[in-house]
Each structure stands twice: as C-alpha cells, then as structure tokens.
C-alpha cells in the first residue's frame, strides 16, 4: 500500500493514511511544494512548531529505472526563509519508496531539544528508544545504525550541526556500502530536522520488492531503453572516470570558478584540484580509493568516488565538483588532500560543504585564517562541532558570518551561499540564483552545461536558457531522477512520459509533464511571495554588480527588473 | 536659507541645494519616508552603497516651541530589513534646524572602512581631517569633539559597535551640558552610519538664531499657550520627579514588564528598580545626581536624570524606563546600580540598550550568564567592544543571538527586540509591533498610556487603539515634538495646526495633518512591502502565542489576519 506517514514530533504520535488519488500523482519536489502550500503558513518560524519537514521519493522512485532513487527533502528553509527542496542520492530514497512511503511528513516540534530515532518499514513506523546518539558525528551515527539495523537499510541522519539548529546543516544519507556520505545539503534542512528533535530515520524495506509499475512489461521495456541510451552517451566515460570533478578545469578555463572568496574566476593552483588530478591520485594511491562507484544500487552512471589518503585509507567519499570549488579554490586551497580533509569534516559535523566553503571564504577575507591554510580552516570547522561562539557564527552559513564579521563581499543570494559558478562569468546562473524559488542552488537550473553553446559572459539569451533549465530541473526533481540521467531525455523527451505512464497507468505526454513542472514552480513562487522572499526581491550580491571578476573582468549586468521577465517566457513543452 | 545637504560617503563630495517647495512641507519622519521612497531601492543591501542615511528635524524644529528639537534619523534598517525612523532628543536636532538644514542625506559608501568627521554650519559642510577617533567610545568621542568644536554644538556620533557595522548599534547625541547621552537607538542605524564611514557629525549653529516662523507673533502666542498647557498637566510633576521610570511599578502591576527573558510579566525584585527608588537614590546620594533635567535646551518637561554611583559621581544619564525594563527585570537584575552599569556600557560602546537587553536575556537563557549576574552581563557587553566572536554575535541583537545560540524564546518582531511592554499583557502593543512599519518599537504607537482605559489583556478595541496611536506617533515624529508634549494636543488638536501654520504661513487644519500622517504610514508600508518585510508577514513570536505569561497567564490571541484589518480603519481626523 502506498501511504503517507505523518509523525508529530511533539506528541510522538504516528499516523499512516493511504495516499489520496491526488497525491498519488505527485512526486518528489512537486509533492513537497503542494503539501507546504496547503499545510504550512509561509510566515511560520522555520525552526518552530508550524514548519513541516517532508521526505518524498519521486514519481519513479522504488522502480528498477536507473538513478530513480533520488530523494526530495523539503520544508520552509531557515537559511533562505523560503520554500526548499534539497535532493539527495544514496539509498534512502529507494528504500523509502519500496517501503511504500509516498511521503513522510514530520510535524510540530518538541519544546526541549531531543535526538530521537524513527524507524520505518513497509508495515509502519516506530520510535527507537534504546539508542543514545546525541551529538555523535554523522559517521559514528551511521556506523551504529548500520550495525543495529542492518546494512541494507536506508538511513537519514543529522550531525551535531543539525542538532544545534545551525542553518548551514544538512541531512546525510549513505549508499549500500556505508562508504559514501551523501547530503541533502542546501537550505539548512538539517536544522529543521534538529528542531523536530529527530537525529536519525532508519528505513527498512525488507520484504518490499522493487515496484513493478502499473504496466510491468512496458516499464521494463522503457527502462531498458533508458539504460541503453544512458550507456550510449559519450559523456559516460568521463563521468565514471572523473565524476563531477570533471568540470573543474573547464570552470577555471571559463573563468567562473569561485576563487579566494569570489574575487577571481580562475585559480593559480588549478592543476592540483582537477578531475584528472583526482582520478590519477585515486589510481596511484590504490587501497580504498575508487573511481566510478555508484551512490545508489543499480546506477549505471557511477559518478562517485572514494578518495584515499596517502596510505590508501578512505579519506572522503565522494569528492565532488562543488566541494572542490567551494572548499578548494574559493578558500585558496590547492590540494585534494586539503579539500578532502575539510570535506570529511563537513560530512562528519553535518554541514553543507557548499555553504561552508562560502562561509570559510568570508571568514578568510575577514582575516580569521589565511587563504590556503587547511589546518586553520579545519580548526574553524571543528569549532562548529564544539559550538564555540565562532563556531556558532560559521555554522549559520555565509550570510550570517558576513554580517557578524562585517564583511562586504558575501557570496549569497536569498541568504544562501552561491555554488561553484560565479554568475558574473556564467550569467545564466545569476538568473537562476535570483529567480529560482530555491535561491543560489546548483541543481535548480544550472547553465554550466550550456556554457559552450551560449556565451556565458553575455546576457543574451540567458533568461530563456534559465527558464528552460529551471523547468528541466523541476522535472528531474519530480521524477526522482539524477541530473546525470538527463541525456536520453534531451534526445527523446517522450521517453519520460513513457516511463511515467508505465508506472502509473496514465496516458500523459511530455507536454503534460512540462506543464506540471511549470505549475509547481508557480506553487513554490507563491509560497515565497507569501513568505516575504519573492524572487522579485532577490538579486545577485551588490559586489557582483560593481567588482569586475578576473580573468574576464566582467560584472553581472542583467538587471533585477529584466530577470523578472523570465516568468513571462512560455515553457517549452516539447523539448526537455 | 533652508537647504538640503547631500554628502557622498564614497567620493566625499558635498552638495547643498535649496529646499524644494514640496520638501519644505515635509518634516522629520515624513521627510525620511518620502526621500527613501523616491531615492532608495527597497531591496538594496542596508549596509551597501544603495542605502541612504537621512537626518531631518521636524516641522517645528529650530523654533522656540518647547520639545520641538527632536531629530528624526532614518534609512533602510539592517536590523529589520525595512524602513526605519529613529527619533532622538538632545541638541543635535535643534542645532541642525537652526543651521538651516532641512535634511542631511548621506549617500553611497566607501569601499574600505573609515571613521570620518563631518562638520556642518549655517554656511556649509566640510570634512574634518585632523581628528582620529577610530574605535573610541561614545563618551571619549563626545569629549574630544566638545573640546575641539565648543560645547554649544550639536553632535551625532557612533561608538565601536557602529564602526563594526553591528545591527544593534545606534547613533548618539548629547545635551548642552554634555552629560546626557541620548540615542537614536532602534533599527541599527549606527551600523548604517558606520557603513558610510562616518564616525561623527558636528553641527555648529553659531550665528543662527531660533527660527521666527512665517508669522512670528502667532508663533509666539501659540507657543506660549502650548507651554502653559504642558505646565498645567497633572502628569508633569511625576515626569520631573521620576522621569520615564515612573511607569516601572505600573508595568509590573499590570503584569507586562519584561522579566527573565520575557518569561514573566512581573519581577520579584521590583522594589529596587522603580521610579520612586530611582528618585530616592538620586536624592540620597547627591553629588552629580539630578532628577528633572532637560535633554534639550528650553524643555519645560525635564524628564531626564543623572544617576550617580554611591560616591555621588555620575554613572549614567539618563536612566530610563525601557533600559530599566530590558537591562533590568528582563535580565533578572534588580538593582539600579547594576542597570546603570550596563546602560553606561551600552552608551559607551554605541549600542541600543533595548536591543541589548533583549539580546542579553536570550544569552542568559542560553546559559552564557546567570540571570541577575551584572558582572557577567557587563563582560558580555565588553566583548562587543572587543569584537570577540561572542561579542560579534551579541552586537547584532536579539534575533541574531537567538539564531546563533539555538534559543527558541526570542522576543523580536520583524527582527527587532521588543521594548518594555510584553504584548501578551498589553495587546495593543502586539498590534503595533506587528503592523507598524517600524516593527517592535516603543515609540511607534505605544498602548501603555491607554492601559487604564482599555483592558490591556483583552483583544477588544486594540486594533482601533493601535491605529489611533500609530497616527499620533507619526504626527509627533513629523512635527519634531516629544511624546511627552502630547498632553495639550490631546486636549486641543487644532493647537498643533496653529503651531504649524504660524511656522509655515499655511492654513492647514488638524484633519489635514492627520491625513498627512496616514499617508506617510502608507508610504512607509509600501517601502516595506517592496523590501519584503510587509506587515502582512509579521507576527508576534511563536512562543507568545503558546506560552502563557504570568501573572495573568495570558497568551497573545489576536490573529495575524485580524491585525491586518487595522489598515481598513479610518484615521480619526479630529482627535489627536
């Protein structure tokens, strides 16, 4: 039975209801947007009783379709003050979908801090009372949970930063091996989970086979074709070899790589942090090191990696583009070992590495550490875990840190740290950061992929580009598919309709799906307007309009008014 | 010549223009609202280049009318994110008006921190280059300036907190004796002045006599009648004797006195902090101690005081209700000496004592100091001056402190600390805090004065009451009159029209003035809507809706929706 699990974090009451006809057609980010729009007062305190934390697999979650296990996590963000969906790989999404949970909704909040554990299986949900996990690191927490509940479960956990309700905190999950640490990092949802007094959620899908879909044969056929097209992509080799880090060198060439607190778009130490350097290092060191590992079972892309230290022991998994850009070049750190150390710390403490890379860059600009000083940066991160006053500043993210330290160059849009693409040199991303309901988010409509076909330094065409990319991102987030699975759909948009129809027994076209995506963006926008963080009020930071970014020496030059016209552009209902 | 002085804080260019016909009819808060509405992008960064800091005397500024020297200071607030007017006594307003400055507008911002001194006289404005005042306390700064420029000048200065761009910082001024420290405290305007790189403004009105008005005879006559009515008020004796502290005991009786971080409305240690205790202590200690001193020359009310230490040496001037409530009972501090110590520290460092009382209460709740521990609280304030990490948290005010420390009970509305009236037991103030464009501000429509005639615990009639009080406050802030001068105008509203007409040669009625006040409120509201901090989005803090306040055990029970209907209530155009 597909069902909705509602958990009251104050009374600890758990309620399960069958999915309504309407909700049965909602997936992932779309489900979150609709639930929040109906049930949550947009003006509520994000860490108060009125907010809800929602976990929702996508439309295709629980099936054998490759990469379909992405999990959407959402609520009102304590970082942006607006609606937030943060999307994560790993096993939690797939196990939740297979356990028949269309949506897990955490409501209300306890008066006093708590660190409870919730367990969900295909029959129901229960509190686990005999575990004490307070203030344990993410790695320790996952280790205990895997031992206690078995390695095939899905896990969703927060670290000390989430328990401390810090707005740079995320929600972590892992893969079947327990090696990968994956984050629903953006938007401070770890603090929302912390405010609900929940340290961990264990999802056991024992006895729940993959969902066969309404038309099992059709689903198998469509899924096979999807897989073949993914495997036929010319990009797949690079993704397996270099992972997301494959774009580090290109970002640097394009002059959009965040460097030294967003004061440059290219980095002197680039050679030490490229995807090639990463792959070579992993290969040379051997041991635990791996390139081309999956983050979820059955993924045919396998863009993840395990980065080992010099002795071959796992240092962090996976080392990815955003973290290299923000914890690396943005902090003037030009060694993968240095980046891996900081990334592992973020993972353990429960922090979004993007937000922390921005916050550390701001702290370095304020003189709290020298750019490039790994040990000083690591000490700053440890202060977050220790909850020192300085740690309590940094753990709230870049905007908060900038305010506390009186720094002017603060790289945030809508209160959220800018990911690895400086909008001055990738104008389309400026449009996305300012207009997307998600704020400065790398997965909400990232124009990097179009930087070769559309001059990224020019304003020309960027509104149309961002509009199309925001809808594409929404479709993936509704479906539960990975961003890297988009290739076949770009070739053949109707294949997505086929996948959906074979799951649900529906008869939708891609145009219908595109319409749903556009409508969901409007639902999110309406929530933000009502919350007071309308995209109309947003812009890139002032410094990006006045400080030219080397090496191209460009400022951001699309006006806030011009960006608003994005919403008048009709979505393309034929092309993915 | 009445003129507008515009100072570019980046280029240091100074421009003077005659007042336009339109602007010549604007005063104080009204002038600020109209300039901001026309010239400042509501979405600008409050501490960035786009914001403007405006100083404007009221309509009646520069005349001999008693209490007419209140100065309005405004800009986009870095604390609330909305429009802000903060109103202050002392000599600066009167000297600025007499020097013929209708508005001083500081524009743009330097890239690098600066602590410049600006000097204004009746001929022009110049930069003073030979003074180094960086990071000096307010008291030290005022001492140096008075020595350098003469004691009859007006002074506007910021302390280290403003230079550090802390959002709990205010702008200080003093009286002719240099003893009083008065603050335009609310809204973090000290940080705006700091962001403009201006440490101090000296106003020399040498050779500029009081403004005679368009009809000097009429003005003299009306002014005399106004003075007589003020002096005939039965309240005047209490105000001279006890000052604003006269209401401490009443607040406690009514159960609305902020106590122990807004967890109670009455205080066990009340006897040590009442107005009577204050007056008795001043009288008993003698020395520098004074009750009934004026904050501006010519004031016939004289509600200020000089509070001496045990040896008779001045400790702080003036010790006032809000500071006793917030730094006193709210922090569990039951001695005037303790409160005076904290108040003097706030004054020296450049902090709004109301905001800091709220922030200290939150910090005490988080366990950083015991309630009632004066020395621990003083140490926390000193950390702000030293810019330690904890100081950098506290100096940003209560909301920031609450977020950093993970505290749930944070007494703020629109990001601003709640003044000395808990809205659960004074419902009208909840309406004002949530709907006034100024947020939780004690001078924006304070229902305390009506608490004897309208049940403060009941929701009944509070919308109408707040509506009338907000307009009354606006009229005073446009006129440049002190809140304590309202008595005669309540008796005879047309007297205000008479005062205005005799100044400007106009022929307005009180109804015209009330219309202007209502229109100015709408201008402010529109700015806030455009800035994303519409009153529609505001409410009292969640905890005040769920935690009953002793001793009456009441929660705040006027819904946010109901509060919105305040704007449909027609202003009363006959009664002040």
Of A47, A389, A538, the CB nearest to B393: A389
* 8-state DSSP, A20: P
**pLDDT value of residue A423:** 98
Do residue B396 and residue A403 have CB atoms under 8 angstroms apart? yes
* Residues contacting B48, CB < 8 A, separation 6+: A408, A542, B109, B195
Report how far Cα B468 is from the mean position of its chain's Cα atoms: 20
Report how far Cα B383 is from the mean position of its chain's Cα atoms: 24
The helix/strand/coil state of B8 is strand
Indicate whether A210 pLDDT > 90: no
CATH number of the domain at A3-204, please?
3.60.9.10
Residue A359 with chain B: CB contacts under 8 Å:
none
Nearest-CA distance B76 → chain A (Å): 14
Average pLDDT, chain A: 96
Indicate whether A309 pLDDT > 80: yes
State phi, psi for B238 to the nearest 5 degrees.
-60, -40
The helix/strand/coil state of A177 is coil
Please compute the mean of the pLDDT values over residues A92-121 and round it to a whole number: 97
B205 touching A, CB under 8 A? no
Of B48, B166, B534, the CB nearest to A542: B48
* Position A55 confidence tier, pLDDT thresholds 50, 70, 90: very high
Provide the token pair at B527. Answer: 């700015």
**CATH entry, B3-203, from 3.60.9.10, 3.40.50.11540, 3.90.420.10, 1.10.287.70:** 3.60.9.10
Please compute the mean of the pLDDT values over residues A233-260 and round it to a whole number: 96
B538 touching A, CB under 8 A? yes
Provide the token pair at B405. Answer: 């420390």
* CA distances in angstroms from B248 to A125, B321, B332, B336, B485, listed in the order given: 53, 6, 14, 12, 20
Reported ipTM: 0.95
**pLDDT value of residue A300:** 94
**CA–CA separation, B216 vs B222, rounded Å?**
10
DSSP assignments along A243-268, one per residue: GGGGGHHHHHHHT-S-BTTTTBSS-T
Chain A residues 161-190 with a CB less than 8 Å from chain B? 164-167
**pLDDT value of residue A572:** 87
**pLDDT value of residue B211:** 87
Nearest CA in chain B to A392: B404
Residue B318 · residue B89 · CB < 8 Å:
no
**CA–CA separation, A49 vs A524, rounded Å?**
21
User: Any idea of the CA torsion for A447, A451, A452, A456, to the nearest 10 degrees?
Assistant: 140
> Could you report the per-residue pLDDT of B506-550, keeping only the tens digit for each?
999 999 999 999 999 999 999 999 999 998 899 999 999 999 999
B534 touching A, CB under 8 A? yes
Residue carrying the six token digits 């996305």: A432
* Position B431 confidence tier, pLDDT thresholds 50, 70, 90: very high
Of A44, A165, A537, the CB nearest to B406: A165
Rg (CA), chain A: 22
Peptide bond into B551 cis (omega under 30): yes
**CA–CA separation, B566 vs B432, rounded Å?**
10
Maximum CA pair distance of chain B?
62
Quote the Cα angle for B378-B384-B390, to 5°: 95
Tell the burial category of B115 from Cβ atoms under 10 Å away from its Cβ (0-12, 13-18, 19+). buried
**pLDDT value of residue B497:** 97
pLDDT above 70 covers a percentage of chain A that reads: 100
Nearest CA in chain A to B396: A404
Interstrand relation of A101-107 and A3-8 (parallel, antiparallel or unpaired): parallel
Provide the token pair at B226. Answer: 């106004």
Please compute the mean of the pLDDT values over residues A23-37 and round it to a whole number: 96
* Residues contacting A428, CB < 8 A, separation 6+: A445, A447, A450, A451, A454, A456, A462, A465, A466, A469
Of A49, A396, A546, the CB nearest to B404: A396
Do residue A405 and residue B390 have CB atoms under 8 angstroms apart? no
Please compute the mean of the pLDDT values over residues B338-362 and round it to a whole number: 98
* 8-state DSSP, A571: P
Provide the token pair at B270. Answer: 């009340």
Residue B97 · residue B158 · CB < 8 Å:
no
Residue A416 · residue A80 · CB < 8 Å:
yes
A54 touching B, CB under 8 A? no
Quote the Cα angle for B463-B468-B474, to 5°: 125
Interstrand relation of B14-18 and B53-57 (parallel, antiparallel or unpaired): unpaired
* Position A543 confidence tier, pLDDT thresholds 50, 70, 90: very high
* CA distances in angstroms from B258 to B247, B412, B442, listed in the order given: 13, 12, 13
**pLDDT value of residue A96:** 97
Q: Which helix (H) or strand (E) holds A318?
A: none
DSSP assignments along B197-249, one per residue: TEEEEEE--TT-PPP--SSHHHHHHHHHHHHHHHHH-TTHHHHHHHGGGGGHH
Q: Which residue, among B203, B51, B225, has the nearest Cα to B128 in the 3D structure? A: B203
Quick count: other Cβ atoms within 10 Å of Cβ A237? Answer: 11
Report how far Cα B80 is from the mean position of its chain's Cα atoms: 15
Indicate whether B1 pLDDT > 80: no
Task: Locate the domains of chain B by residue range.
Answer: 3-203
DSSP assignments along B107-169, one per residue: ES--SS---EEEEE-SS-EEEE-S---TT--HHHHHHHHHHHH-TTSEEEE--HHHHTT-TTB
**pLDDT value of residue A7:** 98
- Which residue blocks in A107-258 are alpha helix, DSSP H? 138-149, 160-163, 189-195, 216-232, 236-242, 248-254
Indicate whether B222 pLDDT > 90: yes
The three-state DSSP-derived secondary structure of B505-533 is: CCCCCHHHHHHHHHHHHHHHHHHHHHHCC
Q: Could you give the strand order of the β-sheet that contains B290-293, starting from the edge strand earlier in sequence?
A: B290-293, B304-308, B314-316
Most B CBs within 10 Å: which of A404, A412, A439, A555, as the mutation test of the B interface? Answer: A404
Of A50, A390, A560, the CB nearest to B542: A50
Report how far Cα B493 is from the mean position of its chain's Cα atoms: 24
**CA–CA separation, A366 vs B567, rounded Å?**
45
Residue A538 with chain B: CB contacts under 8 Å:
43
B10 touching A, CB under 8 A? no
Indicate whether B315 pLDDT > 80: yes
Residue A393 with chain B: CB contacts under 8 Å:
389, 392-393, 404
Q: Which helix (H) or strand (E) holds B27?
A: none
* Residues contacting A27, CB < 8 A, separation 6+: A56, A57, A58, A59, A60, A61, A72, A478, A479, A480
Indicate whether A1 pLDDT > 90: no
* CA distances in angstroms from A426 to A291, A459, B379, listed in the order given: 29, 9, 48
Instruction: Name the E strands within A9-124.
Output: 14-18, 53-57, 71-76, 83-88, 101-107, 116-121
* 8-state DSSP, B483: G
Residue B558 · residue B427 · CB < 8 Å:
yes
**pLDDT value of residue B572:** 87
Quick count: other Cβ atoms within 10 Å of Cβ B571? Answer: 19
Residue A533 with chain B: CB contacts under 8 Å:
532
**CA–CA separation, A224 vs A222, rounded Å?**
5
* Residues contacting B553, CB < 8 A, separation 6+: none
**CA–CA separation, A104 vs A48, rounded Å?**
18
> Could you report the per-residue pLDDT of B192-201, keeping only the tens digit for each?
999 999 999 9
Residue A93 · residue A59 · CB < 8 Å:
no
Q: Which residue, among A333, A566, A366, A326, has the nearest Cα to A463 in the 3D structure? A: A566
Residue carrying the six token digits 């797949």: A236
Residue A326 · residue A134 · CB < 8 Å:
no
Of B393, B539, B546, the CB nearest to A392: B393
> Could you report the per-residue pLDDT of A383-418, keeping only the tens digit for each?
999 999 999 999 999 999 999 999 999 999 999 999
B406 touching A, CB under 8 A? yes
Residue A392 with chain B: CB contacts under 8 Å:
389, 393, 404-405
Residue B560 with chain A: CB contacts under 8 Å:
43
Q: Which helix (H) or strand (E) holds B87?
A: strand B83-88
Nearest-CA distance A16 → chain B (Å): 27
* Residues contacting A127, CB < 8 A, separation 6+: A12, A14, A116, A117, A118, A119
CA atoms within 13 A of residue B222's CA, in its CB half-sphere: 24
Peptide bond into A551 cis (omega under 30): yes
Report how far Cα B75 is from the mean position of its chain's Cα atoms: 14
pLDDT above 70 covers a percentage of chain B that reads: 100
**pLDDT value of residue B513:** 97
pTM for the model stands at 0.97
pLDDT above 90 covers a percentage of chain A that reads: 95
């Amino acid at each position: 039975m597909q069902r909705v699990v509602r958990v009251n974090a104050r009374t600890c009451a758990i309620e399960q209801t069958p999915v309504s006809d309407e909700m049965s057609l909602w997936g992932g980010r779309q489900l979150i947007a609709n639930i929040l729009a109906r049930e949550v007062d947009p003006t509520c305190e994000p860490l108060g009783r009125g907010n809800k934390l929602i976990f929702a697999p996508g439309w295709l979650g629980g099936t054998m379709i490759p990469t379909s296990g992405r999990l959407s996590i959402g609520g009102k963000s304590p970082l942006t003050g607006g609606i937030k969906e943060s999307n994560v790989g790993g096993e939690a999404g797939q196990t939740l979908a297979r356990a028949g949970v269309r949506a897990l909704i955490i409501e209300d909040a306890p008066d006093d801090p708590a660190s409870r554990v919730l367990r969900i299986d295909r029959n129901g949900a229960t509190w686990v009372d005999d575990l004490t996990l307070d203030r344990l690191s993410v790695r320790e927490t996952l280790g205990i949970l895997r031992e206690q509940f078995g390695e095939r479960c899905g896990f969703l956990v927060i670290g000390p930063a989430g328990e401390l309700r810090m707005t740079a905190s995320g929600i972590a999950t892992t893969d079947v091996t327990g090696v990968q640490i994956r984050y629903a990092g953006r938007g401070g949802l770890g603090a929302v989970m912390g405010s609900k007094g929940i340290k961990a959620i264990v999802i056991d899908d024992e006895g729940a086979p993959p969902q066969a879909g309404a038309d099992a044969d059709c689903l198998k056929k469509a899924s096979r074709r999807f897989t073949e097209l993914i495997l036929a992509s010319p990009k797949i080799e690079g993704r397996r070899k270099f992972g997301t880090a494959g774009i580090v060198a290109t970002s640097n060439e394009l002059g959009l790589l965040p460097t030294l607190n967003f004061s440059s778009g290219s980095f002197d130490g680039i050679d030490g942090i490229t995807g090639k350097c990463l792959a070579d290092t992993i290969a040379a060191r051997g041991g635990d090191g791996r390139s081309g590992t999956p983050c979820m079972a059955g993924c045919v892309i396998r863009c993840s990696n395990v980065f080992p230290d010099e002795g071959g022991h796992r240092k962090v998994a996976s080392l990815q583009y955003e973290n290299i850009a923000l914890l690396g070049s943005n902090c003037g750190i030009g060694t993968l070992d240095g980046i891996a150390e900081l990334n592992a710390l973020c993972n353990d403490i429960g922090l979004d590495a993007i937000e922390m890379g921005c916050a550390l860059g701001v702290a370095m600009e304020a003189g709290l550490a020298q750019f490039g000083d790994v040990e000083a940066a690591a000490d700053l991160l440890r202060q977050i875990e220790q909850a020192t006053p300085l740690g309590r500043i940094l753990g709230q993210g870049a905007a908060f840190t900038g305010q506390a330290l009186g720094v002017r160059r603060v790289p945030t849009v809508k209160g959220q740290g800018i990911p690895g693409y400086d909008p001055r040199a990738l104008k389309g991303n400026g449009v996305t950061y300012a207009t997307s309901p998600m704020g400065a988010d790398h997965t909400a409509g990232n124009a990097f992929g179009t930087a070769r076909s559309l001059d990224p330094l020019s304003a020309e065409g960027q509104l149309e580009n961002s509009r199309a990319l925001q809808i594409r991102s929404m479709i993936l987030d509704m479906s539960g598919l990975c961003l890297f699975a988009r290739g076949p759909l770009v070739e053949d948009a109707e294949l997505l309709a086929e996948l959906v129809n074979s799951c649900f027994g529906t008869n939708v076209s891609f145009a219908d799906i595109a319409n749903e995506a556009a409508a969901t963006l409007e639902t999110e926008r309406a929530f933000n307007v009502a919350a007071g963080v309308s995209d109309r009020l947003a812009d890139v930071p002032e410094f990006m309009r006045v400080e030219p970014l080397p090496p191209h020496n460009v400022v951001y030059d699309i006006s806030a008014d011009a960006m608003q016209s994005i919403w008048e552009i009709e979505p393309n209902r034929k092309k993915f």
